[in-house]
Amino acid sequence: MIELYMRDGCPFCQKVVQAAHQFGLKEGEDFKVIDAAQGTPGREVVLNRGGKAMVPFMIDGDISMYESSDIIAYLKR
């Protein structure tokens, strides 16, 4: 399952989730949203896996990426 690391109030995060829904992906089935706000376990995953405290961040198996437009292009495939 694709993991999308997000935080509340992030417009780029909302853009990714909206695109996922437009592509017919279902939260809980195809992807899950994980809170990556400061002080959360999700933030630690983002830092450890990607090296930056930036969201949105996506993990799909061995693939991980930042940047909402790159994530949306990946989800579209």
Which sequence spans correspond to the domains of the chain? 2-76
pLDDT, position 74: 96
Question: What percentage of the chain has pLDDT greater than the value 70?
Answer: 100
Residue 15: how many other CB atoms lie within 10 Å: 15
- CA angle 60-43-7, nearest 5°? 85
Give residues with Cβ within 8 angstroms of 15, minimum separation 6.
Answer: 68, 72
Q: What share of the chain is helix, strand, coil (3-state, %, to 5)?
A: 40, 25, 35
pTM of the complete model beyond 0.95 = no
Q: Look up the CATH number of domain 2-76.
A: 3.40.30.10
pLDDT, position 77: 86
Report, as ranges of residue numbers, the positions in the chain whose pLDDT lies below 50. none
Distance CA 25, CA 46 (A): 22
